[in-house]
Amino acid sequence: MRAKFPWPLGFAILVALTLWPPSGSAQEWAKPRLNDSPRHGEWVEYKSGDRPLRAWVVFPERKEKAPVVIVIHEIFGLTDWVRGVCDQLAEGGVIAIAPDMLSGQTFPDVDGARKAISALPKEQVIADLDATAEYAIRIPASNGNLAVSGFCWGGGWTFGYASVNSKLKAAYSFYGPALNDAAEVAKVACPVYGFYAANDERVNASVPKGEELMKAAGKTFEPVTYAGAGHGFMRAGEAPDATPENKKARDDAWARWKTLLKQL
């Protein structure tokens, strides 16, 4: 039976709606990393129920089998920046897989994709993540250890999915709302690591309750808030026009994330 989440996905969506630049070309700067990367990245396709689901996978350059990290994209879709995040994860030694939650759909602009993602049924998103997890652990180069990560819309789903998939070893939620229901928190099967921006109270308001519930349930939740940063700092901090605060937050968050990934 599929779980239904009471946590505020609409809240995460509301936050995301205020942040995307008016033109999708704003991510042209993300393409050179993909074009110049020495690592192997490829599109794959697998089934989620009867639906074909595609995903972007990047492999690390290492002799040993590697853990796999699912990357749940922002409300803007599977952009070049998200694919670049996968490359950076692979650079850090893990296999990264980012499912396209809008597989089979095309839109003329970012706003169209954003509206479509906000309308995705919870059951479909969970099914797609389950299908991705099942595909991921069967990748021949995988060592069987699985984690999940996500940004904003994907960050909210990351925390929520930690209460659904008992095979997860860790969850890395970037500026997504925390779980706020004790019954769902009780199902969280892995440590959750939060990455939050100081100038993002709409998301941060959910963190104290999440901490309280996770502690009461004997679960691990370690949130870190980055001074001066705004919502979306992992993307904004990498852009050519990044503010010093967002750039520092992005660099510090990556350093922390890479340290945590070594525990998988």
Reported as a single tens digit per residue, the pLDDT across 171-201 is 999 999 999 999 999 999 999 999 999 999 9
Asked, for residue 4, whether it belongs to a domain, the answer is no
Reported as a single tens digit per residue, the pLDDT across 13-56 is 333 333 333 223 347 899 999 999 999 999 999 999 999 999 99
Torsion angle of C-alpha atoms 177, 180, 186, 190, degrees rounded to 10: 10
pTM, 2 dp? 0.89
Reported as a single tens digit per residue, the pLDDT across 45-101 is 999 999 999 999 999 999 999 999 999 999 999 999 999 999 999 999 999 999 999
Residue positions annotated with a catalytic role? 152, 200, 231
Asked, for residue 58, whether it belongs to a domain, the answer is yes
The predicted model gives 206-227 an average pLDDT of 98
Domain of residue 65: give its range.
Answer: 9-19+30-261
Asked, for residue 1, whether it belongs to a domain, the answer is no
Pairing status of strand 51-59 against strand 95-99: antiparallel
Nearest to 133 by CA among 48, 219, 65: 48
CATH number of the domain to which 192 belongs: 3.40.50.1820
pLDDT of residue 21: 32
Asked, for residue 195, whether it belongs to a domain, the answer is yes
Asked, for residue 3, whether it belongs to a domain, the answer is no
CB 24 within 8 A of CB 109: yes
Asked, for residue 2, whether it belongs to a domain, the answer is no
